[in-house]
Amino acid sequence: MKRVALYSKSGRTQSAASTQTVAATQAAAPPPSSAAAAAAQSPPPRPRRFARLRNAAGRHRGLLLFVGGMAAVLAGLQIDRHYISGAPREITQRDIDQAVRTSLEKKPLPSQATKAAMAIGPSIVRVLGHGMPDGEEVKSKAAKPPLTDPKKDGNKARPKGQAESETEENTAIGTGVVITERGDILTNLHVVAGSRRITLTFADGTEAGAYVVAMEPEHDLAVLRATKLPDDLQPATLRSTGDLAPGDEVIAVGFPFGFGPSVSSGVVSGLKREFRSPKGEKLLTNLIQFDAAANPGNSGGPLVTMEGEVVGIVTAIVNPSGARVFAGVGFAVPIENAAGAIGVPPF
């Protein structure tokens, strides 16, 4: 039995057979077109310019995807910040001025006079000197008025709504200012001189009796001490008049005609003035002249700077007509003159 060869032993025989097969195939196929012939004759395409980059990208594909994702996230955040909060810009002086103007339009700041009145308010005291026969005066601490509480002095109670001046003769209304933590109160001597008793009303409504502890008649000053003090007593801040000048703004605080505490504003009109009482009995010197309104009841009250500091004690007004009302000229005793009255220099 004849064996079948698995492989050809002759290359020639296989090549001839292959040649015959290709020739037969070409004979059976239709002739190629001119385009196909041109394509067959054209050289193979060259590698692209960025082949190396593509190869590198393929090798580091994971890293590139991570970097690209992070860039996209950051770009998204930047876009959101731009549209939500706006791009940051430099703040100019115009922006600041506009913000301040808008704030002031919504809530105006208090005036200097208002701030000064708020600062001195807790130290203001209403002083009542209840009468005694004319010509008698309190001359020393030993001759002080009786220490009586106006609510428990044993006097007949006055009808509700009736003023004290209607139940007791020669009642003087004036003003005082607390000047020490122990409760010393500075006022005018003429407010309490000749009084049988003195009563005080503090800023918080506390009422108490009082007596004279020191006097300076040459400056029309008296120092009172209350029999009872408020828990939150606030003494005023005193200021030297050494740098005070005409034109400086001041306020006068007191109880004009019993109304108050009332505040009036003005300026310092002059310094080192002299004043003689209408009856010519007393000459006061080295006075501060001011034009803030003051009337009977302001006596003993403080003359206050715009910083809320006391520079004087209101003591007199001048009216050429003789009427006891303000005509534009008031006088205050400089606060330095209170040093002798309280026993220690305030500055």
The answer to whether 268 and 248 have CB atoms below 8 angstroms apart is yes
Which backbone phi and psi does 63 adopt, to 5 degrees?
-65, -40
Does the annotation count 15 as an active-site position? no
Q: 268 to each of 120, 242, 245, 285, 334, how far by Cα in Å?
A: 18, 13, 7, 16, 12
Residue identified by tokens 């959101």 is 80
Does the annotation count 42 as an active-site position? no
The answer to whether 190 and 175 have CB atoms below 8 angstroms apart is no
Which backbone phi and psi does 141 adopt, to 5 degrees?
-60, -35
Residue among 123, 184, 219, 220 flagged as catalytic? 220
Does the annotation count 220 as an active-site position? yes
Q: What phi-psi label fits residue 260: left (phi over 0), alpha (psi between -120 and 50 degrees) or beta?
A: left
Please list the residues that pair with 265 across neighbouring strands: 251
Residue among 190, 264, 265, 291 flagged as catalytic? 190
Q: Report the DSSP pairing between strands 249-254 and 302-305.
A: antiparallel
- Which residues carry out catalysis? 190, 220, 299
